[in-house]
Amino acid sequence: MKKPKPKQPKSPAAYIEGAGIVVEKPVTDTIEENYMPYAMSVIISRALPEIDGFKPSHRKLLYTMYKMSLLTGTRTKSANIVGQTMRLNPHGDGPIYETMVRLARGNEALLYPYVDSKGNFGKAYSRDMAYAASRYTEAKLEPLCKELFDEIDRDTVDFVPNYDSSTTEPLLLPVKFPSVLVNSNIGIAVSMASNICSFNLSEVCETAISLLKDPAHDIISTLKAPDFSGGGYIVYDENALRDIYETGRGSFKVRAKYNYDSSNNVVEVTEIPPTTTIEAIIDKIVEHVKAGKIKEIGDVRDETDLSGLKIAIDLKRGTDHDALMKKLFRFTPLQDTFSCNFNVLIAGTPRVLGVGEILREWTAFRTECVKRRLFFELKKKKERLHLLRGLQKILLDIDKAIKLIRETREESEVVPNLMIGFGIDELQAEYVAEIKLRHINREYILRRTEEIENLERDIADLQETLDSKSKIRAIIIAELKEAAQKYGQPRKTLLTFSAPEEAEEEIDIPDYPVNIFFTKEGYFKKITPLSLRMGGEQKLKEQDMITLHEESTNRAELLFFTDKGQAYKSRASDFEDAKASVMGDFISSKLDFEDGEKPIALITTLDYCENLVLFFENGKCAKVPLSSFETKTKRKKLQNAFNISSPLVAIFKIAEDMDFILNSSAGKSLIFNTALILPKTTRDTQGVQVMRLTKAYLKSAALYADGMIKKQSEAAEIVAKTLPSAGKAVKIVESVQLTIDG
C-alpha cells in the first residue's frame, strides 16, 4: 500500500488575498496617496516657520525647557534637555541637540538668542569648529523667553496632544513681539523654501507700533535694513529693500568688516556675511592666489580665538589695502548676496509675505492672544466674584449658618442645607463649607466685602477693554515698547552707501602679444607668437575651419556674438595660452551659453573706439559704435546685441569708414562707403537700407579692394551715390565671401 504524499505547506502568498496580482494604477494616484502626505507634513510640520517665528522643532524644545523651570532656574545638562524634549519631538537626540545649538548664544547664529549656553556650542561662522556633545554642555532659557511664555498658562493659545497623547503642547507661542522678523529662519520644504533675514528688535517694534497707529506708514523709514548677529555692512540699495519689504522676495549684498594694521601690513577681517564661513573665504582666497588673479597677498590664516572672529591677510610690500579689499569683495565671499524668501505658515497655509503683511498678520495673531488672555482673566474674576457673593450671603447671618451646620446630622447634607437655607448654588455652598472656623471674624468679613467691590470694578474694566479695539491696540503697543526697552540693542550690521559693483580695472593683467583664433564650430585659441612659430599645423575638429585669425594682446576684450542676437563678453586673459596642436576652448561651454545657442562671430577690441558694421539678408546695414557694448560692471551677457528680424550676413570691425562690396542672390553687386550711413548707439537697430532687393537677398559682403572687378569702368558704375541702390551685374575677379561663416 502506497503511502500518501505529504501535503506541501502553502506559501505565505496563498493566504494573502490578491497576492501576486499586478494591478495597473496611474502614477499620479500613487504620488497623491504616498508622496503628497509626506510633502504636506514637511511643509506644515517641519520646515516652514509660523507667525510666532518658530518651527515645530524650535517650539517643542523651548516649551520643554520652560516646563523644566529653566526660565528662572539654573542651567542643566543639555543631554537632560534633549531627553525631555523627546516627549514632544519624535526624533533622535542628534537633530534635537542641533536645534538647540542654533538657538544658543554660544553659537552666534541668532541676533537675539533664546538659549543661555555654557560650554562649546561651535560657531555659525565656522564650518570646522564643531560643537561639543550634549553631555558636556549646559543650558537654560534666556530672559528674552519671558516674552514668549509669560501668558502661555492663561489660555492665550491652543494646546494639542503630543504624538502619543501622553501630554499636550502649544500650537503657537504667545510672543509679545514680532519674533518672526527678529531672528533669521531658514527652511527647505518640498517644492518650497523659506529664508527670512533678521531685523533689529527695536526697529521691528517701532515699525509695528507705527503700523498700528497708521496703516499707511512707510516701513523703510523705521525699519532701515536687516541686522545680522555677525555684523558686517549691508550695501544699501533702497529700491531693493523696498521690493523685499513689499513682496517678501529679493536680495541685497552683505560685506565683511576689516581693519588695517599698518605696523604689520596686515588686513584683519573681523566680521563676515552670514551666508559664508571662515573656511570658505580662505579657500577662495587661496584659489585665486594660486590661479594668479590675486598677487598682492603673502599669506592668509585663521586667527579666530576666544576674543572672536579674525582672518589675517598678510600683504606684500607696497600693496594698497583698500584696492585689494575691493578686489576680494568681487572675487570671494567677503561680499556675498543674501536672498530673501519670506515664506511663512499662516493658519496652516504657506504664504510669501512682505514685511508689512507679516506685521499685520502678527498684529492679528497678537490681538487674538490679548483677547483670550483678557477673557481668561475675566472668567477667573467672575468665578471668584460668584463665590464671594455666596459667602457674602452667609456672612450676613453667620449664626444661622453655624446653627444649620451644627444641626445637620450627616456631612453630605451640609452643602444641600446651605443651598436651601441661603439660596446659593452648589459651588458657592462648597466654598462656604470649606471656610476655616478661624476666618469667621469681623476682619475677614470686611476684607471679603472689599474684594467684592474691587472684583466688580476689575470685571467692568476688563469687559470694557474687550469691547474696545483701541484699548487692545494700546495694550499691544505698550508691550512692544516694553520689549524694545528691555531687550533692544544697537545695530550690529551697519550700512554702507558705496556701489555694490565697483568696476575697477584689474591692473595686474600681464600684457603680451597673442594670436587669436576662432573657428566656425565655436572653438577659441590664444597662442603666443613664439608658440605659433614653433607649433605645427592647427588642430581642428573634422569639417571645422578657422574664421578669424587676429594679432592682439592678452588684455584684449572679446565679444562673442550668437545666433540668438546676444553677445557674451570675456577677455583674452581669461583663457589659458594654448598651442596649435590643441583644439582650444569650446566657447558655448566656457561662457555658459543657453541651450541650443551657437556663436557666429568674434570681435576683439582694446579700447572700444572702433565701429561695428553689420549686414543683413534684407539688404540693410547698421553701423554701431563699439562703445555701445562697453559696460562699467563686469557683465558677461548682453541681450539685444543686434537686430534679429533679418538673418545676419556679415559683421566687421572698422576704425574708419571703408568701402564694402555687396553681392545679392540675383547676381548683382554694389560698392558703397560706410560714410553714407550714420552710426546708431542703439545696439539692436534695424539699420539703413543699402541694397535695393527685388525677389532676392543679400548673399555676401566683403571689404572692397582695387582689382576685384575685371573692368575698372564697371567698378565705377556700381559705386553707390545714394542709398538705397540696386547695383548691377558685373564680372568679379575675386570675391572674398566674408560672411558670418567665413
Residues 587, 591, 597, 603, CA torsion sign: negative
Contact in structure between 556 and 604 (CB atoms under 8 Å): yes
Average pLDDT for residues 355-361, to the nearest whole number?
A: 96
Instruction: Please report the DSSP string for 188-248 in residue order.
Output: E-SS-EEEE----HHHHHHHHHHHHH-TT--GGGT--S---TT--EEE--HHHHHHHHHHS
Mean pLDDT value across residues 59-85: 95
Q: Tens of pLDDT along 599-610?
A: 999 999 998 999
Yes or no: say if 152 and 373 are a contact pair by the CB < 8 Å rule. no
Query: Amino acid identity, residue 49?
Result: P
CA distance linking residue 193 with residue 341, whole number of Å: 7
Instruction: Tell me what pLDDT residue 13 has.
Output: 52
pLDDT band of 741, cuts 50, 70, 90: very low
Mapped onto helix, strand or coil, the DSSP state of residue 473 is helix
Do 114 and 140 form a contact (C-beta atoms < 8 A)?
no
Distance, CA of 516 to CA of 526 (rounded, Å): 5
Q: Which helix (H) or strand (E) holds 185?
A: strand 185-188
> What SS3 state is found at 606?
coil
pLDDT at 508 over 70: no
* 652-691: pLDDT as tens digits: 999 999 999 998 998 898 988 999 898 898 888 999 999 9
pLDDT-based confidence at 580, cuts 50/70/90?
Answer: confident
Confidence class of residue 10 from pLDDT cuts 50, 70 and 90? Answer: low
Residue 23: the pLDDT is: 77
Whether pLDDT at 420 is above 50: yes
The alpha carbon torsion through 28, 31, 33, 39 (nearest 10 deg) reads -140
DSSP letter (8 states) at residue 31: I
Half-sphere exposure of 464 (CA within 13 A, CB side): 6
Give the pairing of strands 494-496 and 233-235.
parallel
Determine the angle formed by the axes of helices 442-466 and 469-487, rounding to 10 degrees. 100
- Name every residue whose Cβ is closer than 8 Å to that of residue 304 and which is 6 or more positions away in sequence: 123, 126, 129, 278, 310, 311
What is the rounded CA–CA span in Å between residue 424 and residue 390? 6
> What are the residue ranges of CATH 3.30.1360.40 in the chain?
257-333
Per-residue pLDDT band at 735 (split at 50, 70, 90): very low
pLDDT of residue 341: 94
The residues, any chain, with a CB within 8 Å of residue 12's CB and separated by 6 or more, are: none
Q: Architecture of domain 378-487 in CATH?
A: Orthogonal Bundle (1.10)
Q: Taking a C-beta distance cutoff of 8 angstroms, is the pair 561, 600 a contact?
A: yes
Which listed CATH number (3.30.450.20, 3.40.50.2300, 3.90.199.10, 1.10.760.10) goes with 54-173? Answer: 3.90.199.10
Q: What's residue 16's pLDDT?
A: 65
Nearest to 567 by CA among 490, 662, 496, 644: 644
Confidence band for 736, pLDDT divided at 50, 70 and 90: very low
Residue 589's pLDDT is what?
86
Contacts of 338 (CB under 8 A, 6+ apart): 197, 226, 251, 252, 253, 254, 273, 274, 275
The band of 94, judged by pLDDT with boundaries at 50, 70 and 90, is very high
464: CB partners within 8 A, 6+ apart: 471
Handedness of CA 29, 30, 36, 37 (dihedral sign): positive
137 backbone dihedrals φ, ψ, rounded to 5°: -105, 160
Collapsing DSSP states into helix, strand and coil, what is residue 566?
coil
pLDDT tens-digit map of 616-657: 999 999 999 998 898 876 778 888 899 999 999 999 999 999
> Omega before 625 cis (within 30°)?
no
Residue pLDDT, tens place only, 299-318: 999 999 988 999 999 998 88
How much is the mean pLDDT over the chain?
Answer: 89
At residue 538, does pLDDT exceed 90? no
Choosing among 3.40.50.450, 3.10.20.30, 3.30.1360.40, 3.40.50.620, the CATH entry for 257-333 is 3.30.1360.40
Residue 411 has pLDDT above 60, yes or no: yes
Tell me the Ramachandran region of residue 668: left when phi exceeds 0, alpha when psi lies from -120 to 50, beta otherwise.
beta
Closest by CA to 323, choosing from 576, 83, 502, is 502
Reduced to 3 states (helix: H, G, I; strand: E, B; else coil), residue 626 is: helix
Question: In this predicted structure, which of 141-155, 195-209, 242-256, 493-507 has the lowest mean pLDDT?
Answer: 493-507
Mean pLDDT on 194-213: 96
Per this entry, what is the length of the chain? 742
The Cα–Cα gap between 281 and 271 comes to: 12
Instruction: Give the pLDDT score at 7.
Output: 59
The whole-model pTM stands at 0.69
Distance CA 621, CA 614 (A): 6
Diameter over CA atoms, the chain? 147
Q: Over 50: is that where the pLDDT of 733 sits?
A: yes
pLDDT of residue 591: 87
Mean pLDDT of 453-463: 92
Q: How far is CA 373 from CA 377, 465, 467, 645, in A?
A: 6, 12, 14, 69
Instruction: For 243-312, give the secondary structure using H, E and C.
Output: HHHHHCEEEEEEECEEEEECCCCEEEEEECCCCCCHHHHHHHHHHHHHHCCCCCEEEEEECCECCECCEE
In the numeric block, which cell numbers belong to residue 268?
A: 584683519
Return the amino acid letter for 403: K
CA pair distance 579, 514, nearest whole angstrom: 11
HSE value, Cβ hemisphere, 13 Å, CA-based, for 188:
0
Q: Write down the pLDDT at residue 8.
A: 58
pLDDT at position 721 is 86
Find out whether 649 and 615 touch, Cβ atoms under 8 Å.
Answer: yes
pLDDT digits (tens, 9 = 90+) for 383-410: 999 988 888 888 778 888 888 888 888 8
Distance, CA of 107 to CA of 552 (rounded, Å) = 54
CATH topology of domain 513-717: Neuraminidase (2.120.10)
Taking alpha carbons only, the member of 484, 486, 495 closest to residue 201 is 484
d(CA 582, CA 516): 14
Residues of the chain above pLDDT 90, percent: 57
CATH 1.10.268.10 positions along the chain are 378-487
SS3 131: coil
In the chain, CATH 3.90.199.10 sits at: 54-173
Confidence band of 501 (pLDDT split at 50, 70, 90): very low
Catalytic positions, please?
136
Q: What stretch(es) of the chain map to CATH 2.120.10.90?
A: 513-717
**Contact of 669 with 684, CB cutoff 8 Å:** no
As given in the structure block, the three cell numbers for residue 362 are: 502678527
Compute the average pLDDT of residues 87-106: 93
